[in-house]
Chain A
Amino acid sequence: MIKLEGISKKFGDTTALENVSLDIKRGEFVALLGPSGCGKSTTLMILAGLLRPSSGQVYFDGKMVNNVEPKDRDIGMVFQSYALYPHMSVIDNIAFPLKQRKVKKKERYQKAREIAAMLQIDQLTDRMPSQLSGGQQQRVAMARALAKDPLFLLLDEPMSNLDARLKVDVRDEIRRLQLKLGITTIIVTHDQEEAMAVADKIAILQNGKIQQYGTPEELFMKPVNLFVAHFMGNPPMNILKCDFLRNGNERVLSGEGFVYNILSTKKLSSEFKGAKVVLGARPHHIQISKVQQENSIPAKVVLVEQLGREKLIKVLLGDNENTTNFIRILSPTDLNVTYDERVFLTLDSEAIHIFDEETGKVIT
């Protein structure tokens, strides 16, 4: 079990991490997700012991390990650049951690060969790293990290240097291995799809702070703030600024080119007293209709893109020509709409998210 407690990290006057706390259970696969520069790698380096936190504690299995050297933390690590030792053959790379542990020569090569076989690189063991493709290097790096049977596996953007197709294969492979070995794994990624695909839990970071920590479903269905809502999902959630109008029991959202009545069954946070909100609606939670319906929003189609399984339709909101508010909708391919066509949108009241514009916090 891993526990981060109030971790902060400063580099000079830049604060890379601020009060980060995280609980990771044994055998869990956790993704640290966030845009570039949000502090993911810094968190991982602190877990590895390659960086010291400015404040806060790191616990492994209940023991404080702030001052424990990386080599004594029982971790395997894969770097974004793979960081293979360039002048050692593949087998020597894999055996290197064992050599440092003074494992006997015969034993360590046998172990290295077993791991190589598990990762299907046993026919490459005599090559030098410079003679390997990116995907092969990635496997060697994984093999090296797993060679000493570590308690924890730390992966820093292990797939960002692979092409799209290979990425999917490798991430499935990593997940398969993780489940097979039951090894507690922490992966750093900026790709929400990757995180959703492999992780049991995701911690979303922004500006050195954890925004939300939970299962992929939780993050996707119940984002706590605008940042999480926008970061999770592709294409991203539609975001519309609007005024929040209270009229007796009616609650109305009014923005550029649209007016929307929130159904009375939808509960909102009683604490919210403001007048400015942001409406969030996922592209597949919006229905397109050719006829006007109750509480529907008029719009004009400006782009139709065939994605294969579904259609991506971009529409401009409003009756008149000079609005600029547009949203993206994913709809079944059998829906026939064409460029410039007038349509009506209905929002699933249960699936929409409303955020306080000032704080970005969710109020639904």
Chain B
Amino acid sequence: MNLARLKKKSYPYLFLAPFAILTLMFFVIPALATLWMAATNLDRKMKADFIGFGNFQRIFADINILPIIKVTLIYVFFSLVLTVAFSLLLAICTQYLVKNKKLGALYRVIWLIPSTMPGLVYVVFWKYIFNPTPGGFANKIVMYFGLEQPISWFNDAGLLIIIIAGVISGASGGMILFSASINSIPEDVYKAARVDGAKDRSIIRDIILPALKWPIMYVTVTSTIGLFASYNFILLATRGGPVVDTTTLALYGYQQAFNRLEYGYGAAISVIVVIISLLLTLLLFRLFDFNKLIRPPRIED
């Protein structure tokens, strides 16, 4: 091989090298470190002994783990379904049902606000609304309507509030993606459907939803992974309480590692989180027939 060809062949790799190094430093190495940590008993004494699957055995014996997995599955499932359904609803309403394009766009911008808020501000907002004292916004309302005692919202319905808050701020991403997909359906297709006698319901079911299959898959998969890994809002809102009523697996891992300084144990929990979301992602790919997406089109003559 001559030098010129070698040079030409090596260009792509040269361009990729900086990013490969960054990925290595900030992704591969921490991931490997986590795996290693999960196999040690690293804790506040900062002394790491290799204990093999010891941490994982401990997880299965942990009395908190079952309720936490239950909370996690409820949290992920309902957040996911509601986020996707809600962003679909928003996209179809603002992009298709509302015929005034400007009004639809304005409405979408309004729905973007929660997701542009810094997380901390967003939590403060919800904590104000569901403040357990009589001065809280929700309590003012229920007490105006005759309730004697203020409700301790986060204690009684913490998970529900967390899910709703997450759905409201999380729906805008899917909404934007779905809107863009709906917008890319040519105007003539709607006209043809009207001539053919299709009603809104049929247009949504037969034309819009099929066009959204891959965007829906994308949002579902990324949301699943994101929901399994996220704990920020819960941490700031309830710290997982009362007891472990709002503790998800990711939050539990965080608490083990950074509150109780059981780094090894926390790492093992986060490995479990990764494994579960990986399995679910694969399952979702199956469900959405991912192979079809990457199959080349069959255009002849």
Contact = CB atoms under 8 A, between A and B. Distances in A.
B299 A88 contact: no
A144 B195 CA distance: 11
Contact of B189 (A48, A86, A101, A132): A86
B191 A79 contact: yes
B156 interface: no
Interface residues of B, number: 23
A50 B299 contact: no
Interface string A138-153: 0000001000100000
Contacts, number: 75
Nearest to A145: B195
Nearest to A150: B195
A59 to B, nearest CB: 19
Interface in A66-97: 69-71, 75-77, 79-81, 83-88, 96-97
Decide if the interface of chain B is mainly helix, strand, loop or mixed: helix
A87 B213 CA distance: 10
A97 B196 contact: yes
Interface stretch (B11-19, B107-115, B202-210, B249-257): B202-210
A96 B194 CA distance: 11
Interface string B172-210: 000000000000001011011111111100100011001
Nearest to B190: A83
A100 B202 contact: yes
A97 B197 contact: yes
Interface residues of A, number: 29
Contacts of B62: none
B186 A81 contact: yes
B188 A81 contact: yes
A87 B188 contact: no
B301 interface: yes
Contacts of A148: 196
A160 interface: no
B211 A50 contact: no
A100 B201 CA distance: 11
Given A87-B211, A130-B297, A100 B192 contact: no
Interface string B130-158: 00000000000000000000000000000
A132 B299 CA distance: 6
A187 to B, nearest CB: 16
What are the 7 tightest A-B residue pairs by CB atom distance, in nearest-first order? A87-B210, A71-B197, A83-B188, A100-B197, A97-B196, A83-B192, A79-B188
23 contacts: A48-B191, A69-B194, A70-B195, A71-B197, A75-B195, A77-B195, A79-B191, A81-B186, A83-B186, A83-B191, A84-B189, A85-B193, A85-B207, A86-B189, A86-B210, A87-B211, A87-B213, A96-B193, A97-B197, A100-B197, A127-B298, A133-B300, A148-B196
